[in-house]
Amino acid sequence: MARILMVASEGLPFIKSGGLADVIGSLPQELVKKGHEVRVVLPMYLKIAQNFHDEMQLEAQYTVSINYHEVPVNIWSTMRKDVKFYFVEHRGYFERDNMYGYADDGERFAYFQKAVIEMLNQLNYFPEIMHCHDWHTGMIPVMCKEGHSFDERYRNIRHVYTIHNLAYQGNFGVEMLDSCLGLDYRLYDNGNVRYDGGISFMKSGILYADKVTTVSPTYSQEILTPQFGEHLEMVLNIRKYDLWGITNGIDIEYWDPKSDPDIPYHYNKVNVKKQKEANKLALQKELGLREDPNVMLVGVVSRLTWQKGFYLMMEKLSEICAMPIQLAILGSGEASIEEKMRQLEEGNKGKIVFYNGYNDALAHRIYAASDLFFMPSLFEPCGISQLISMRYGTLPLVRETGGLKDTVTPYNEFEKSGTGFSFANYNSDEMINVMNNAVHVYYDRPEDWKILVRNAMNCDVSWERSANTYCQLYAQLHP
């Protein structure tokens, strides 16, 4: 069994902006159950400092060179379910209102990665495998292999790099190579880290890691093509024999309709219909929808962005509004989509409700109360919402892309099989046809609907299987 250090920019239960945090919150615990020793290192953001600092211990204090200055680093730690979490503290870089989106993001995460690499030396803790996630950690394999190759302790580390979303790549000016990363310009000249006249953290991670993974088998194939490769498909094709697609799971203790503290009525496969209706009535009352346990409630919990397929939805708003359904939308994102959702609610009071922002407890209640979960993504590396909705007996309606294709089996009316509904092409006519079909099955084929709900709730959406695959991957690197 291996000593593994996971390096990421976010992780539950400490902080979250997207699905990466769910993975970091769940996968390490599952790997520990399988006998690995797993530790995690994250930046100490403002919210983490405010909410968790009191329980942490100071582990180390040292400096790293950024912009030709020695910048102090404090390393703190705390335990969560047999996993040790480290935090890199620098108030100027990380204690801000948001996690990402600043002009100096390159410098901030160069500092984070340098601090992590020196942390190993300061704590005399050298993992056998460093598992880095997304662009914020992509330079770690480079710095270990190019900057510390003289040191056997670093040379013996094997590197796994996971792409959660290829659209965000960490592309910065070439001057950062020397000033922030302490790397030689020859790595730009020979093309290893060069991208579009600058450097790319994501490209570098893909090229330098020993193994590259992404979060579903279908997405691992899609990103080898120009359509999904985000201009890195050539680089990924170089590494395709080291590229693994491993589907994410969810934390089935946290997402459990039998015991979820955020929902008013608990249920299992046996009493799902009755209790879902009770949850629906409670949510309708809470959100100001017309109270009716028999109406089909469609839930949306999402970032409201182009990636998530909301432009498709906006093309068909009049048809959707005409359907015998209610719509509960929770999310935030692009201003134009938010404005459209506000107008939609305004013109359809009692039928459509839009909660702008994110509210975790409300998300649980939407999953529990909805009959159908709407997720028409343009692309979706894995997707977690469809896994949660199936766990809660809410049938997902998805586009067949990435992890959505891998995890949702479309309804087959002849075999009475499936766990949801899906359409293949990014096309609003296809989407609305499938949505009409779902409405038809709900109202006119209730027995089929019941079978689909049972199928969905029988799906194994835990980390168990995925963790086994990660174990196989680690075993190849560390026999």
SS3 sequence of 35-71: CCEEEEEEECCHHHHHHHHHHCEEEEEEEEEECCEEE
Same domain, 202 and 291: no
Q: Tens digits of per-residue pLDDT, 407-462?
A: 999 999 999 999 999 999 999 999 999 999 999 999 999 999 999 999 999 999 99
- How many domains, in total, are found in the chain? 2
- Whole-number Å distance between alpha carbons of 97 and 93: 11
Residue 340: Cβ within 10 Å count: 18
**Residue 410, in any domain of the structure:** yes
254 lies in a domain? no
**Hey, what amino acid is at 412?**
N
Residues 470 and 353 in one domain: no
Asked whether 310 and 380 are in contact (CB, 8 A), the reply is no
Residue 120 lies in a domain: yes
| 255 located within any domain | no
Asked whether residue 281 is assigned to any structural domain, the reply reads yes
Residue 15 DSSP one-character state: B
| Residue 346: Cβ-neighbour burial (10 angstroms; 0-12, 13-18, 19+) | exposed
With respect to residue 123, please indicate whether it lies within any of the assigned structural domains: yes
Can you give the CATH number for the domain in which 233 is found?
Answer: 3.40.50.2000
> Does any domain span residue 30?
yes
Query: Residue 249: what pLDDT?
Result: 94
One domain, residues 163 and 309: no
Co-location of 397 and 416 in the same domain: yes
Is the four-CA dihedral 7, 12, 18, 20 of positive or negative sign?
A: positive
Binding site annotation covers 16?
yes
**447 shares a domain with 382:** yes
Does residue 110 share a domain with residue 234? yes
Residue with tokens 């989407």: 431
Q: Write down the pLDDT at residue 452.
A: 97
Structural domain boundaries enclosing 301: 272-458
pLDDT confidence of residue 30: 95
- 10-residue mean pLDDT profile of the chain (479 residues): values are 96 90 94 96 97 96 96 97 96 95 96 98 97 98 95 96 94 94 94 95 98 96 95 97 96 95 97 97 97 97 91 91 96 92 92 92 97 95 94 97 96 95 96 97 97 96 94 91
CA-based nearest residue to 164, from 307, 21, 332, 16: 21
Considering the domain architecture, whether residues 70 and 84 belong to the same structural domain is answered as yes
Are 413 and 473 found together in one domain?
Answer: no
396 in a structural domain? yes
Q: Which residues pair with 331 in a beta bridge?
A: 302, 356
Residues 6+ apart with CB under 8 A from 404: 375, 377, 380, 383, 386, 396, 398, 422
Give residue 478's region: left, alpha or beta (phi > 0; psi -120 to 50).
beta
Is the domain of 331 the same as that of 209? no
Residue 277 shares a structural domain with residue 231: no
Examine the domain organization and report whether 232 and 307 are in the same domain. Answer: no
Same domain, 454 and 468: no
pTM for this structure?
Answer: 0.92
